[in-house]
Amino acid sequence: MFATLVRWSRTTYRGARGSGPGRSGKTDARSSPASRPTEVIAAHAGRTFKRAQRGLYDGRIIQFGNTIPNSRHKTGRTWKPNVQRKAIWSETMQTWIRTRVTTSALRSIAKHGGLDQYLARTKDTHLGEFGRTLRERLALTLRAKRLQNQS
């Protein structure tokens, strides 16, 4: 009888609530940022979602996980990027560019000192298809201006 009590006591048998990576009361089953794929790895794996190809998303993707209430019944959910519609000024092209842009990309644009510098310094995986075409348009405009100045 003593062996069965030891086997099923709280100290040895963790059960569903105690199992998991953290083993602390309520935070054990919540996913950590380390368990989710990063934006760059997901972009290299071809997991960018289509909506990110139509704006400046700064490599942000839809993330998946679970909502875990006190009952520990997991329900699937998604975290979508915070996307806004903005007009951003381009110094080189001397025009406003209306696009969908994430708040992360807006902070990066401000950090780099404008849209033109952001496009020039950001990796292709973070820009996406729209950002790369915008960068090409920017380069064509710069070449045309240089040719005009040389003439």
Q: What are the residue boundaries of the structural domains of the chain, listed by start?
A: 1-27, 31-150
Q: Whole-model pTM above 0.95?
A: no
The pLDDT score that the predictor gives to residue 15 is 52
The CATH number of the structural domain formed by 31-150 is: 2.30.170.40
HEC sequence for the chain:
CHHHHHHCCCCCCCHHHHCCCCCCCCCCCCCCHHHCCCHHHHHHCCCCCHHHHHEECCCCCCEEEEECCCCCCCEEEEECCCEEEEEEEECCCCEEEEEEEEHHHHHHHHHHCCHHHHHHHCCHHHHHHHHHHHHHHHHHHHHHHHHHHHC
The pLDDT tens digits of the residues spanning 72-120 come to 999 999 999 999 999 999 999 999 999 999 999 999 999 999 999 999 9
